[in-house]
Amino acid sequence: MKIHCLQHLKNETLGNIGTWVSQKGHRLTKTLLYKKPVFPEPEKFDMLLIMGGTMSVYQEEEFPWIRPEKEFVKKAIDMGKPVLGSCFGAQLIAEVLGGKVTRNRFKEIGWHRVKALAGENTNNEEEIISELPSGLFPEFTAFMWHGDTFEIPAGAVRLFESEACQNQGFIYGENVLGLQFHPEADRQWIEKLIEDSGHELVEGKYIQSKEQILRDEHFLENSRNIAFSLMDWFEKRCEN
């Protein structure tokens, strides 16, 4: 499979997802938005991955590449390409599909519990959610670093929520997945993010300290398992 990645910051890399791509033997290309925002033709890739960033999707004046990125993502979705976004990437997908992106009531940084929404949807939605990897039920712990949130676009199925953020994930159609949390978070990824954005680790109800974030090794293993199981599930879903 040919996978293309939209990367917005030097250190917000694919992390665990990059490991999955490598182990699967897939081909990977990237657009580095912080260097040169040049987008390939959608015919040249089979799946699009949209990573996180400290910017917001409504900051088009400050980051002039955001508007053409939205147009590129919309084109890929309209062509039926599998598209997956995490954090900023999910917010961008949500806006492209007609959902609003706004400030969340709380900043959510660190390891937090996420609930899978089984039993809270229509029959068709329940069928979609029941196909999610079993390790996500009823709850799992995932890494967060965000201050914005997205509306669930019309026609999409809400998949996850956390205490601090009602909308933690959605799927649209068969092959568009938005995740507010960061399944890509491995130790190096987290350490680099703290290095770049550690000034955000202030006192807050859902903001953990650097020491809290780094001390729990089992969360890192769990993050890797979540990334691999979600990517396996998404890949299989897109092949059907």
Task: Please list the active-site residues.
Answer: 87, 182, 184
Whether residue 133 is preceded by a cis peptide bond, meaning omega within 30 degrees of 0, is: no
Of 171, 127, 125, 164, give the one whose Cα is nearest residue 142: 164
- Cβ-Cβ contacts under 8 Å for 80 (sequence gap 6 or more): 175
Strand order in the sheet with 2-7: 27-32, 2-7, 47-50, 83-86, 176-179, 169-172, 156-161, 101-116, 139-150
Q: Given this model, what pLDDT does residue 220 score?
A: 96
Q: Given this model, what pLDDT does residue 121 score?
A: 53
Give the DSSP letter string of 97-165.
Answer: TT--EEEEEEEEEEEEEEEE-TTSS-HHHHHHHHTS-GGGSSEEEEEEEEEEEEPPPTTEEEEEE-SS-
Q: What predicted TM-score, i.e. pTM, was given to this entire model? A: 0.95
Amino acid code (one letter) for 29: T
How deeply is 61 buried, as exposed, middle or buried, from its count of CB atoms within 10 A (0-12, 13-18, 19+)? exposed
∠ Cα 31 32 35 (to 5°):
135
Confidence check: pLDDT of 19 > 90: yes
Q: Is 50 left (phi over 0), alpha (psi -120 to 50) or beta?
A: beta
| Averaged pLDDT, 157-184 | 96
pLDDT tens string 125-151: 667 777 888 888 889 999 999 999 999
Q: Given this model, what pLDDT does residue 188 score?
A: 96
All domains in the chain, ordered by first residue: 2-239 (3.40.50.880)
Lowest mean pLDDT across 39-48, 107-116, 130-139, 167-176: 130-139
Residue 237's pLDDT band (cuts 50, 70, 90): confident
Q: Is 15 left (phi over 0), alpha (psi -120 to 50) or beta?
A: left
How many residues would you count in the chain?
A: 240
| Measured distance CA(220)–CA(204) in Å, rounded | 23
Backbone φ and ψ for 26, nearest 5 degrees, come out as -80, 155
